[in-house]
Amino acid sequence: MSLPAGFPPLVVPADNPLTAAKVELGRHLFFDPRLSLDGSMSCATCHQPARAFTDGRPRAVGVTGEIHPRASMTLTNVAYSAVLTWADPTLRRLEEQMLIPLFSREPVEMGLKGLESEVVSRLDRQPRYRMLFIAAFPDQDRPVAIDNIVLAIASFERTFISGESPYDRYVYWGETAGFSESARRGMRLFFSTMLGCSECHAGFNFSGPVAEPEFHNTGLYNLDATGAYPEGNRGLYEHTGKPEDMGRFRVPTLRNIALTAPYMHDGSLPDLKSVVAHYAAGGRTITAGPNTGVGRENPYKSPKVGGFEITEGEIEDLVSFLQTLTDERFINDPRFADPWLSP
């Protein structure tokens, strides 16, 4: 698989080598609602290609209608993510992460826990799948199996490579089309020490170090002036129990960011201007309701979120730059299209 300019080699696990047949099987499974409790949703329900593999909701909704505490993360360049999900430092393989949406009960996502045999039967009855599983796992007597479903979807997800945005074409190829003067001013602001955006959103993926990811508390909440975040959505703290990890979430990629609104881990900021305003203030102030608090004063907030002064015109320029990270080729790539829409 060819990689965009500036991208490091792709690391693929030895026990799940990338093959064209496995990727094609994974594509069929990714878009197939048979992989849900009642046949009403697929992986693509929450991870839509046109939205850079997000769903446009503030928070994800499972097959039973249960609203999740967090937003669906983009799968843009997910193969380069050292850890997966918003705040679990232990999930480091797509094969492991895939088990959560399929089988988790708290919260319910696709709702297949206890239905493993039925799901295998559903797929085994579909003639197209018989051929696809045999092609992907030719050495197995019974290739239609849960383990292989997981391996195939993970393989498909590893092909979600985005690196041909107007920003990339401008930086690597010198193309100015799609990269306005406003975007150039915004790029200077983004990489400036005054704003410090690139201190966290660094590197080829605009997500910080890929080998060892960073988690930050950005002052989004400060309940009761204690530094607390809403119950059940407290970030890294829920896995470590350390007070200093309260509200710390993984730095997401900014690639295709203009397509993935609303923003933050819980979708509580509606647009990019709101996000810039949040960081300019050094944290969000909520004046009423159960989440009342001054985020700027959160004692666990990252020292990198100190606030800055910015004019309305500079906000426009910064947003213009962020919009140049949209990769139209990526979101319209036929390799990521729903195969069930064609015979």
Give the tens place of pLDDT for each residue, 245-296. Answer: 999 999 999 999 999 999 999 999 999 999 999 999 999 999 999 999 999 9
For residue 150, pLDDT beyond 90 = yes
Residue 18 to residue 158: CA distance in whole angstroms: 8
- CB 285 within 8 Å of CB 292: no
For the chain, which domains are there? Answer: 20-161+330-341 (1.10.760.10), 166-326 (1.10.760.10)
- Cβ pair 34, 41 in contact under 8 A: no
Residues 26-37, mean pLDDT to the nearest whole number? 98
Amino acid letter for position 262: P
Is residue 343 over pLDDT 70? no
**CA 156/CA 82 separation, integer angstroms:** 17
C-alpha triplet 83, 86, 92: angle, nearest 5° = 15
- pLDDT value of residue 223: 97
Indicate the pLDDT class of residue 342, thresholds 50, 70 and 90.
confident
Higher pLDDT, 342 or 24: 24
> Each residue of 100-117: pLDDT tens digit?
999 998 899 999 999 999
Q: What is the pLDDT of residue 209?
A: 85
Share of the chain above pLDDT 70, in %: 100
pTM score, whole prediction: 0.96
For residue range 191-220, list pLDDT tens digits in order.
Answer: 999 999 999 999 999 998 887 889 999 999
Q: Tens digits of per-residue pLDDT, 319-341? A: 999 999 999 999 999 999 999 99
The mean of the pLDDT values for the chain is 96
Report in angstroms the alpha-carbon separations of 330 from 27, 50, 81, 212: 15, 9, 18, 26
Where residue 84 falls among pLDDT bands split at 50, 70, 90? Answer: very high
The model's pLDDT over 38-70, given as tens digits with 9 standing for 90+, comes to: 999 999 999 999 999 999 999 999 999 999 999
- % of the chain residues with pLDDT over 90: 96
